[in-house]
C-alpha cells in the first residue's frame, strides 16, 4: 500500500466537514486512498451502470441506504446527487460523513460549488510525488534513482505498485481515456484526429500555447482546438501554467504554457520507449521542466493549496520558469536539465530581480545534476532534492 502525502490533510478535513471531495486524474490513487483512510464506510462506485441508474433515477431512495455516510466514487457520473446530499447533511451536519471522488475537475467543481458550498472540503490528488515514489523502493536498494527513467515511467501509482511496463500501461491509460472519458465529456466525432491533436500537444510541452498554430497543424478550427484543450484540462491530462504579470510599462507575455500532469504520458505520446531515447530527445529539457512544474503542483495540492503557480516572460525574452507565491512575494525557480552548472542558469533570476525589485523573497535553480551547490544568492538544488522540497 502506497502511503500518500495528502493522507493527513484528508483525515483532518474529514474531521471538520460533513463532506470531503477528492478530485484528480484517473488512476491517481483516489479510490485506494479513500478506502484505506475510511475502511468502515460503505464503498459505492457510480461507474456501475445499475448503481448509477438507481442514483440518478431515484436519488432519495438511493441515499436512504447510506444515512451513516459512504464513499461515492466518480460522483460526476450522477451529477444531481450533490444537490440531494446538501439537504441530507444540512439536517445532520456531523463531520466526516461522505467522501466523494471524481476525475473531471471543472464539471465536478461546478456541481460542488453550486450544491455543496460550505459543506465540503475540496482536495486534488495527482499521481505520485517523487518522495512517494522513493518510498516504494526497497530499503536496501543501492541503485540511485535515474532521471530519464523517472520521466519515462511517470508517476501513476499502478505502474509502480504492480511493476507494469510503462509503455504498455500508458497506452492502455490513453486508450481507456479516449474510450471512456471522451464519451462522457464531449462528442469528439473523429477520435483519430483527436489523438493526433493530443500528440501535437505533447510535442509542445513547456511551450507557450499557440492555439492558431496548434489548430493548423492538427487540421481543425481554432474553436475546436480551444474546446479540445479545455477537454484535456478538464480530464487532468494537461495543465496550463498562467503567466505572472503586473501593470507596468514593460510588455509581458500573457499566454499560458502547456504542460502534462504526468511526464510518462507525455513521453508515450512522443513515441519515447526507453530512457536513452528520453535523454537524447530534443524535448529532454522541456520534459524535465514539465517534471519539476508537476512536482510543484503536487506539493501545493498535497498541502490543500490551489494551483497558484506562474511563469514569467517579457517581450525581450527574459524568463523565469516557475514563480511560487509566498505571502505577498514570490519564490522563483529556474529549471535546467543539464547536469553541469553554468552562469546562464542564473540570468533569468538576475534580470527578474533587477526589473521587479522587492518582489522576490528568494530564488533557486533546480538542475538535472546530483550534487547541489550552496551558491549566493541563488542556491542550486539537485532534482533529487525534490524528494524533500527545500524550505523556502
pLDDT in tens, 116-175: 888 999 999 999 999 999 988 876 666 778 999 999 999 999 999 999 999 999 999 999
Q: Which domains does the chain have, with CATH numbers?
A: 7-124 (3.40.50.300), 131-387 (no CATH)
Q: Cell numbers at residue 348, please? A: 533569468
Whether residue 97 contacts residue 89, with contact meaning beta carbons closer than 8 Å, is answered with yes
- Can you name the residues that pair with 310 across neighbouring β-strands? 323
Mean pLDDT on 94-100: 97
In sequence order, the 6+-apart residues with CB closer than 8 A to the CB of 375 are none
Pairing of strands 120-124, 238-241: unpaired
Q: What does the H/E/C string look like for the chain? A: CCCCCCHHHHHHHHCCCCEEEEECCCCCCHHHHHHHHCCCCCEEECCCHHHHHHHHHCHHHHHHCCCCCEEEECHHHCCCHHHHHHHHHHHCCCCCCEEEEECCHHHHHHHHHHHCCCCEEEEECCCCCHHHHHHCCCCCCCCCCCHHHHHHHCCCHHHHHCCCCHHHHHHHHHHHHHHHHHHHHCCCCCHHHHHHHHHHHHCCCCCECCHHHHHHHHCCCHHHHHHHHHHHHHCCCEEEECECCCCCCCCECCCCEEEECCHHHHHHHCCCCCHHHHHHCCCHHHHHHHHHHHHHHHHHHHCCCCCCCEEEEECCCCEEEEEEEECCEEEEEEEECCCCCCHHHHHHHHHHHHHCCCCEEEEEEEECCCCCECCCCCCEEEHHHHHCCCCC
The pLDDT value recorded for residue 181 is 76
Mean pLDDT on 187-215: 93
- Can you name the residues that pair with 334 across neighbouring β-strands? 365
Burial 248-270 (b: 16+ CB within 10 A, else e): eeeebbeebbbbbbbbbbbbbbb
Query: Residue 316 CB: number of other CB atoms within 10 A?
Result: 10
CA angle 371, 373, 379 (to 5 degrees): 130
Cα–Cα distance for residue pair 175/202, rounded to 1 Å: 16
To the nearest whole percent, how much of the chain has pLDDT over 90? 80
To the nearest whole percent, how much of the chain has pLDDT over 70? 94
CA angle 199, 203, 208 (to 5 degrees): 120
Q: Cell numbers at residue 63, please? A: 441515499
The pLDDT value recorded for residue 141 is 65
- Can you name the residues that pair with 208 across neighbouring β-strands? 257
For residue 243, pLDDT beyond 80: yes
Instruction: Tell me the CA distances in angstroms from 127 to 54, 75, 111, one per residue in order.
Output: 31, 20, 24
Q: Cell numbers at residue 313, please? A: 516572460
For residue 257, pLDDT beyond 90: yes
Cα–Cα distance for residue pair 302/321, rounded to 1 Å: 21
The pLDDT value recorded for residue 136 is 85
Mean pLDDT on 8-21: 97
For residue 75, pLDDT beyond 80: yes
For residue 1, pLDDT beyond 80: no
305: left (phi over 0), alpha (psi -120 to 50) or beta: beta
The pLDDT value recorded for residue 186 is 67
The pLDDT value recorded for residue 266 is 98
Query: Residue 69 CB: number of other CB atoms within 10 A?
Result: 21
Q: Cell numbers at residue 93, please? A: 451536519
Task: State the average pLDDT for the chain.
Answer: 92
Mean pLDDT on 337-366: 95
The pLDDT value recorded for residue 113 is 66
* pTM reported for the whole predicted model: 0.94
Amino acid at each position: 500500500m502506497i502511503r500518500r502525502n495528502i493522507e493527513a490533510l484528508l483525515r483532518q478535513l474529514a474531521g471538520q466537514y460533513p463532506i470531503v471531495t477528492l478530485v484528480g486524474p484517473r488512476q491517481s490513487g483516489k479510490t485506494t486512498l479513500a478506502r484505506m483512510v475510511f475502511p468502515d464506510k460503505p464503498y459505492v462506485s457510480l461507474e456501475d451502470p445499475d448503481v448509477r441508474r438507481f442514483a440518478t433515477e431515484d436519488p432519495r431512495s438511493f441515499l436512504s441506504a447510506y444515512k451513516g455516510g459512504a464513499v461515492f466514487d466518480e460522483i460526476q457520473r450522477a451529477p444531481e446527487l450533490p444537490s440531494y446530499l446538501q439537504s441530507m447533511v444540512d439536517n445532520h451536519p456531523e463531520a466526516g460523513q461522505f467522501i466523494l471522488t471524481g476525475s473531471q475537475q471543472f464539471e465536478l467543481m461546478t456541481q460542488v460549488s453550486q450544491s455543496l458550498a460550505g459543506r465540503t472540503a475540496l482536495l486534488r490528488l495527482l499521481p505520485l510525488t517523487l518522495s512517494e515514489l522513493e518510498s516504494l523502493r526497497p530499503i536496501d536498494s543501492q541503485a540511485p534513482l535515474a532521471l530519464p527513467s523517472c520521466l519515462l515511467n511517470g508517476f501513476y501509482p499502478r505502474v509502480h505498485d504492480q511493476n507494469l511496463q510503462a509503455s504498455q500501461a500508458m497506452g492502455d491509460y490513453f486508450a481507456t481515456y479516449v474510450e471512456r472519458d471522451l464519451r462522457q465529456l464531449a462528442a469528439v466525432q473523429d477520435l483519430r484526429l483527436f489523438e493526433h491533436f493530443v500528440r501535437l500537444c505533447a510535442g509542445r510541452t513547456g511551450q507557450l500555447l499557440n492555439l492558431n498554430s496548434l489548430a493548423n497543424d492538427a487540421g481543425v478550427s481554432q474553436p475546436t482546438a480551444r474546446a479540445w484543450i479545455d477537454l484535456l484540462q478538464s480530464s487532468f491530462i494537461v495543465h496550463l501554467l498562467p503567466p505572472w504579470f503586473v501593470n507596468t510599462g514593460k510588455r509581458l507575455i500573457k499566454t499560458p504554457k502547456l504542460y502534462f500532469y504526468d511526464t510518462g504520458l507525455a513521453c508515450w505520446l512522443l513515441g519515447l520507449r526507453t530512457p536513452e531515447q528520453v535523454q537524447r530527445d530534443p524535448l529532454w529539457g522541456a520534459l524535465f521542466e514539465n517534471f519539476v512544474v508537476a512536482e510543484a503542483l503536487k506539493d501545493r495540492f498535497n498541502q490543500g493549496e490551489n494551483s497558484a503557480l506562474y511563469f514569467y516572460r517579457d517581450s525581450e525574452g527574459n524568463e523565469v520558469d516557475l514563480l511560487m507565491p509566498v505571502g505577498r512575494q514570490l519564490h522563483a525557480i529556474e529549471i535546467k536539465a543539464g547536469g553541469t552548472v553554468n552562469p546562464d542558469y542564473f540570468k533569468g533570476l538576475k534580470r527578474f530581480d533587477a526589473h521587479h525589485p522587492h518582489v522576490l523573497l528568494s530564488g533557486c535553480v533546480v538542475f538535472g545534476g546530483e550534487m547541489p551547490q550552496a551558491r549566493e544568492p541563488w542556491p542550486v538544488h539537485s532534482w533529487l532534492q525534490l524528494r524533500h522540497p527545500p524550505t523556502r
